Structure 1
Amino acid sequence: MSETEAITLPTLRPNPFDPPDGLAELRATAPITRLAYPDGHLGWLVTSHALVREVLADRRLSTRTELRHVPIESTSTGRPSPPGMFIGMDPPDHTRYRQLLTGEFTVRRMRMLTERIEEVTERQLDLMERQGPPADLVEAFAAPVPAVVICELLGVPDEERAGFMAEATELVRPDAPQERKVSTFLTMQARIRDLVVAKRAEPTDDMLSGLTRSDLTDEELANIGFLLLGSGLDTTANMLALGTFALLRHPGQLAVLRDEPGRVDQMVEELLRYLTIVPFLVRTALEDVELGGELVRAGETVTVSMPSANRDPGRFPDPDVLDLRRDTGGHVGFGHGVHQCLGQQLARVEMRAGYPALFRRFPSLRLAVEPEQVPLRTDMLIYGVHSLPVTWDVRG
């Protein structure tokens, strides 16, 4: 394929729940194709389920930040990831950090968190009910639940949580000036560094305290804390909000959620597949690699489309249909390979608790605006909705 045939990453969505327009045709006709990057790099775009999994499992394709190019406009510096920011590292550095963190995501802690997440969920629904309709579901429910949970997991003191949440929100606001984002980032980093110092002095039963018993430096701990806090807030919040939007627009599937509670695990997996809020991941070839009949040369970046992979009819029959009874085994909503999302079980627990509790508490929940008026996060790295105006009938 010649350089003149390179495309740019499709981003225009035909409706709120489907992948960007053009990906299905690419997947059917050219599942690996040349991609032009905003910085002038010429790399590749992969759109089929099988090839996406192949890319994410291949150790010859690197996730190192200093090697990658990003398929959207970005302020990425191209520098190596700082100590502790393990998602931008390859083994063995990635392995060292990942193993330490895996030890903190214990079965005991997840079991304890399940009960606590259910309590946090009900408490937030109590508050939403007291405030009455209408409400922005993002502000009233979807964002606060994972925020409280991740703050408790990291051991953020009660009096510090409002500050952390406000700063994390500021960092992902699309309209925030770059100077303010930089200032907020530095403030948040300083807060986490102070928290690390406090945990070393007086450890408690939380993840950050557990990590202070390792050989990690304060800088590494602070960066890990920042990474966990940011990823734990934004991703689950968007799944809770966008998933609610999708259920409200698919009343038949909402009935399945209400009437078949024993299927809740399966339902969460289908929502993860159907919505796929992470638009893409990138890898860079460390050596020449043959992929789908094309030669990816050393130094070329490969972008994989997660929404396209999860809508591949070769893997999921009738993939554009939301079916909460579907077997979704093999979806890539949390990635694949050694970099598969470390916090995926926590996110699942939050969704298993959140969706059923929300519709049980508010059986008449509905949109307070026309569907077309819901503002979509097409301008963000994590897809979802900026807000979700809802209303319900107040019980007498």
Structure 2
Amino acid sequence: MSHDPTAVDTTTGATTDDITADDLPTLPTDRHTGCPFDPPEGLTALSDEPMRRMRYADGHVGRLVTGHATARAVLADPLFSSRYELLRLPVPMEGVSGDLPPAPVGDIIGLDAPEHTRYRRLLTGKFTVRRMRQLTERVKQFTEECLDAMEQAGPTADLVEAFAQPVPALMICELLGVPYTDRKRFQSHVATIFDQTADAEATGGAYAALVQYLGELVLAKRAEPTDDLLSDLTTSDLTDEELAGVGGLLLAAGLDTTANMLGLGTFALLSNPDQMDALRADPGLAEQAVEELLRYLSVADPLLRSALKDVEVEGTLIRAGETVTISVQAVNRDPRRFPDPNRLDIHRKATGHLSFGHGAHQCLGQQLARVEMAVAFPALLARFPALRLAVPPQEVPLRERSNIYGVVSLPVTWDKE
């Protein structure tokens, strides 16, 4: 299909030759109005076509994808790169100026084949559905321990601090083989890194301490392997630095997203009592409810790719070097794929959402995240039948400064027996 250089751009009504960067929309991020679970109103307004031109933070002109089918096409195409140094940021990021640096050692998210393939092959076998389901009993144990502590300290709690963060943190410790005696130290560093109220010095210090700890952990696993993922990987050709980097990636990718899904997901259920009651009445709906919450909330957003060559997607030519921003929250609300998309419905068959990405970079730890949520949500609702917000919904603080959306805290209460 040929590309017409004078085609009309429906954003402005002008031909593409007439449009300057200043005429193009930027990525809307403001959620201050409307439902806290919905995409920004400005993004919804730009979702009438599946892909359009967009202006980036540095003036770069790239693309915004809001259509489900278009997003899948881009994410599946090896002509679109994930390398950080090739990407442009759609919105300014605190502490980042100029070009992005290449991915640090072990960060497979920012790599393309063949480097990405090398890591991916080593890791894929460690995250099979069967192996993740074997961890279900440990998830249940950690969940019950957190609920016990929450109940004993009640009848009020910050659900993020008491439940949403510690459950996935303990599972990451289990996966990486963090010794029990080190877990408080490990969790303390992690909590500081993901604390939205912490200053840059505290966050930087905690990150440096965690990197140092992971390096020490790798050396300990080489000397005395145990039954965990890091020990398994010591038999591979990965260097100590690569192993520590992989550990850091699994921590960052697996903890913050799941913690925010548990926190924001509970907020969403409390705000939709019919859905909460349905899940409480039938815990067998848990896996289906998790898929719908993943679709509805889309906490990890957006995904970025850069065209390595001129490439045509659904009849539109994307030039080499253009960055494509895939708005996961818009894609997962595409009415062409999900009827009545703005309604939370745990009876919906929400398979096909792109909350874990698609293609070569689809999230490695998605099965573990699913197991954690499918255990945690029903257990929480069963333990506290009268669980409710302890503050008005509009007073729940939201994580609006992060590309992982969620709640900073979630004050809840219940009736103490």
Q: TM-score range by the shorter chain?
A: over 0.9
Deviation at residue 383 of structure 1 after TM alignment: 0.2
Deviation at residue 303 of structure 1 after TM alignment: 0.4
Deviation at residue 182 of structure 1 after TM alignment: 2.8
- 1:325 matched to 2:365? The reply is no
Partner residue in 2 for 1:298: 320
Q: Is the 8 A contact 2:129 2:367 kept in 1?
A: no
Counterpart of 1:44 (choices 59, 63, 83) is 63
SS of equivalent to 2:347: coil
SS of equivalent to 1:347: helix
- 1:59 matched to 2:81? The reply is no
Deviation at residue 108 of structure 1 after TM alignment: 5.1
Q: Is the 8 A contact 2:54 2:61 kept in 1?
A: yes
Q: Is the 8 A contact 1:63 1:283 kept in 2?
A: yes
Partner residue in 2 for 1:109: 131
Deviation at residue 170 of structure 1 after TM alignment: 2.0
Q: With the length of structure 2 as denominator, give the TM-score of the two structures.
A: 0.91
Which whole-Å CA distance do the structure 1 matches of 2:41 and 2:410 have between them? 23
Counterpart of 2:277 (choices 244, 250, 255) is 255
Which whole-Å CA distance do the structure 1 matches of 2:416 and 2:200 have between them? 42
1:22-41 mapped onto 2 (5 Å cutoff): 22-28=42-48, 30-41=49-60
Deviation at residue 271 of structure 1 after TM alignment: 0.7
Which whole-Å CA distance do the structure 2 matches of 1:23 and 1:49 have between them? 15
Which whole-Å CA distance do the structure 1 matches of 2:214 and 2:270 have between them? 38
Q: Is the 8 A contact 1:274 1:320 kept in 2?
A: yes
Q: Is the 8 A contact 2:196 2:408 kept in 1?
A: no
Deviation at residue 171 of structure 1 after TM alignment: 2.1
Name stretches of at least 5 consecutive residues in structure 2 with no aligned partner.
1-15
1:1-396 mapped onto 2 (5 Å cutoff): 1=16, 2-3=19-20, 4-13=22-31, 14-28=34-48, 30-74=49-93, 75-76=95-96, 78-107=100-129, 109-395=131-417
Deviates more, 1:182-191 or 1:369-378: 182-191
Write the letter of the residue equivalent to 2:40. P
Which whole-Å CA distance do the structure 2 matches of 1:310 and 1:109 have between them? 28
Name stretches of at least 5 consecutive residues in structure 1 with no aligned partner.
none
SS of equivalent to 1:174: coil
SS of equivalent to 1:316: coil
Which whole-Å CA distance do the structure 2 matches of 1:179 and 1:125 have between them? 33
Deviation at residue 245 of structure 1 after TM alignment: 0.5
Provide the identity percentage.
58
Q: With the length of structure 1 as denominator, give the TM-score of the two structures.
A: 0.96
User: Aligned pair count?
Assistant: 394
SS of equivalent to 2:317: strand
Q: Is the 8 A contact 1:172 1:380 kept in 2?
A: no
Deviation at residue 10 of structure 1 after TM alignment: 0.6
Which whole-Å CA distance do the structure 2 matches of 1:143 and 1:33 have between them? 37
Q: Is the 8 A contact 2:262 2:373 kept in 1?
A: yes
Structure 1 segments, 4+ long, off by >4 Å, are none
Deviation at residue 131 of structure 1 after TM alignment: 0.6
Deviation at residue 173 of structure 1 after TM alignment: 2.9
SS of equivalent to 2:113: coil
1:264-293 CA-partner distances (Å, limit 9, x unpaired): 211110111111101200000000122344
Deviates more, 1:279-288 or 1:169-178: 169-178
Q: Is the 8 A contact 1:5 1:34 kept in 2?
A: no
Which whole-Å CA distance do the structure 2 matches of 1:221 and 1:50 have between them? 36
Write the letter of the residue equivalent to 1:8. T
Q: Is the 8 A contact 2:24 2:53 kept in 1?
A: yes
Q: Is the 8 A contact 2:168 2:259 kept in 1?
A: yes
